[in-house]
């Protein structure tokens, strides 16, 4: 069955909560998810296979910058390029809406995420000490959305399938 990209809305609350629990150990509460999914100004992209939510990426567009708040992939679907696909889709949508740069925080020990973000043109610009529940630091990363920086950051539409 082919992958289907799409937006997330309030009707996807249960799927988002399940993926959040499976991938991120319940990073957001149900109330936080409700606020995220109801807010039409926030960007929320997903990859589906049939009824199953396999990957999602969320972000807030603040003037001309995208603040990426979450990237999650079903554990059984990791290392198949889904994180890259859904994140490229989110970045493309932000660029269409006028964003010139994107930022995020990533757990300093998350090698897989650091590799993904590096391939997409993100570079480390700072550190937030003790940012995560476990006391670990977050690395602050930025990427330009106006300069070619990596695969998928051009103006070619993202193709799934």
Active site residues per annotation: 105, 117
Alpha-carbon distance of 5 to 156, in angstroms, equals: 15
Per-residue CA distances from 102 to 54, 62, 70, 123, 156 (Å): 23, 10, 13, 11, 18
Q: Which three-class secondary structure state does DSSP give residue 81?
A: coil
Do residues 65 and 100 touch, judged by C-beta distance below 8 A? yes
Per-residue tokens: 90: 């989110």
Q: Which three-class secondary structure state does DSSP give residue 59?
A: strand
Do residues 43 and 71 touch, judged by C-beta distance below 8 A? no
């Amino acid at each position: 069955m082919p992958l289907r990209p799409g937006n997330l809305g309030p009707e996807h609350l249960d799927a988002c909560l399940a993926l959040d629990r499976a991938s991120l150990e319940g990073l957001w509460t149900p109330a936080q998810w409700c606020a995220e999914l109801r807010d039409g100004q926030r960007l929320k992209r997903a990859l589906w296979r049939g009824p199953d939510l396999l990957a999602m990426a969320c972000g807030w567009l603040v003037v001309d910058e995208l603040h990426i708040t979450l990237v999650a992939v079903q554990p059984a679907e990791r290392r198949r390029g889904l994180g890259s696909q859904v994140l490229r889709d989110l970045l493309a949508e932000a660029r269409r809406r006028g964003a010139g740069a994107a930022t995020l925080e990533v757990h300093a020990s998350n090698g897989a995420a650091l590799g993904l973000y590096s391939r997409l043109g993100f570079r480390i610009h700072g550190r937030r000490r003790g940012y995560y529940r476990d006391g670990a630091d977050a690395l602050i990363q930025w990427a330009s959305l106006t300069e070619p920086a990596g695969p998928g950051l051009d103006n070619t539409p993202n193709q799934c399938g």
